[in-house]
Amino acid sequence: DDRSDHATPPVEPPARGEVAALTRRSSGTRERSPFSPDRRIHDGEHRATLPGKLVRAEGDPETGDAEADLAYDAAGVVFSLYADCFQRNSLDGNGLPLIATVNHRRNYNNAFWDGSQMAYGNGDGKLFRSFIDLSVIAHEMAHGVTQHSGGLIYEGQSGALNESMSDVFAAITVQRHLGQSPAEADWIIGGGILAPGINGVGLRSMKAPGTAYRDDLLGQDPQPYHMDFYLSTPDDHGGVHINSGIPNHAFYLYCQYLGSPAWEKPGQIWYRALQELNNPLATFAEWSEATATAAIELYGLGSHEVTMLRRAWKLVGLPA
Ligand code: ASN
Ligand code: ZN
């Protein structure tokens, strides 16, 4: 494969006795984990029933159906991110099978995690051409990680944090897969899914929230990049896909300030903070403080990593 591993050759999978030592020394990022995925891709056959017909289980050959095969490969890329970078065995940390359904409903303009599996529509061909896109798949799978990490209630600020977590780990997944630095990456979620003729670059931009699309998708991209523009709305569980722009942009800024690959220091801090959060109703301010705590634990009080983190949060109007 062509992941960032080309920067440093991956080590071979460890022998049994070496697993503990490997886990201890890895703050990190490039070691191959001893875990392996259990993918199960289903064809929804354009119906609403889940999971549908099993078309490719782990180790099965390609189906020939491009959507099913891409969903299988992408699930493997996401699995490897959590295994190699965070020593996490699947979405629940305990080898959870990765169940996905492609061809969910007809002309369905969305993808989702339903609490136990992923489902992907084909799009209606007018707004969306497909939802089989690595950033979208990684976003939905990250909802499973958040759910199994203490959860973030899908409403208001905690809901927007839940959404942001999915975008952050989607960006991390894509950038690691492509071996991109923060400066090289496009920071777009859903870059490949808009139908031809739609005036936009994707669903959301973490680099420039509010600029992902213009007036022919769902209105103009309403995402804010600063607390001054936080949107209070009863729609979409309190604007969870809107206000996520604020913590998304803080993550983007932090990666740029550090110049560190997203899956390295920034990803390690975000992941650790999520594991330690223990606050399903966390506000943005509680989350920014949690990332600062994680950064101090990992890199030390007064470290460059902590100073830059505070600077990133400050720029979007949050304490840390
Ligand atoms: N694609 C959306 C998401 O994962 C589905 C939803 O609105 N929950 O956020
Ligand atoms: Zn989501």
The DSSP-derived string for 57-76 is: ETTPPP-S-HHHHHHHHHHH
Q: Which of 31, 67, 140, 163 is catalytic?
A: 140
140 lines ligand 1 (CB under 6 A): yes
- Residue of the CA atom closest to atom 3 of ligand 1: 112
Q: pLDDT, tens digit, for every residue of 231-259?
A: 999 999 999 999 999 999 999 999 999 99
Q: How far apart are CA 245 and CA 205, in angstroms?
A: 8
Q: Is the CB of 112 under 6 A from ligand 1?
A: yes
DSSP-derived secondary structure letter, 213? B
Which residues surround the ion ligand 2 when the cut-off is CB under 5 Å?
A: 166
206: Cα separation from own chain's centroid: 12
Instruction: Identify which ligand lies nearest to the alpha carbon of 133.
Output: 1
Nearest to 273 by CA among 139, 146, 159: 146
Q: Report whether residue 167 contacts ligand 1, using a CB cutoff of 6 Å.
A: no
Do residues 178 and 128 lie in contact, with contact meaning Cβ atoms separated by under 8 Å?
Answer: no
Catalytic status, residue 226: no
ipTM over cut 0.90: yes
Between the two ends of the chain, the Cα-to-Cα distance in Å is 38
Collect the ranges in the chain with pLDDT lower than 70.
1-31
Single-letter amino acid code for the residue at 24: R
Domains identified in the chain and CATH numbers: 4-147 (3.10.170.10), 156-315 (1.10.390.10)
Please give the structure tokens belonging to residue 31. Answer: 């070691």
- State residue 33's pLDDT score: 82
CA gap 147, 21 in Å, rounded:
29
Q: How far apart are CA 302 and CA 297, in angstroms?
A: 11
| 211 Cβ closer than 6 Å to some ligand 1 atom | no
Token duo for residue 58 = 């782990």
> Is the distance from CB of 129 to CB of 194 less than 8 angstroms?
yes
User: What's the angle, vertex CA 119, arms to CA 116 and CA 125, rounded to 5?
Assistant: 165
Q: Tell the residue number behind the tokens 């939905």, with chain if given.
A: 140
Backbone angles phi, psi at 11, to 5 degrees: -80, 160
Active site residue 241: yes
Among 109, 130, 140, residue to substitute to test ligand 1 (most atoms within 8 Å of Cβ) = 140
Which among 130, 69, 128 is positioned nearest to 100, based on CA atoms? 69
Q: Which atom of ligand 1 is nearest to the CA of 113?
A: 4
How many Å lie between the centroid of ligand 2 and the Cα of residue 195? 20
Mutate to test the pocket of ligand 1, among 110, 127, 154, 203 (most ligand atoms within 8 A of CB): 110
Q: pLDDT value at position 218?
A: 86
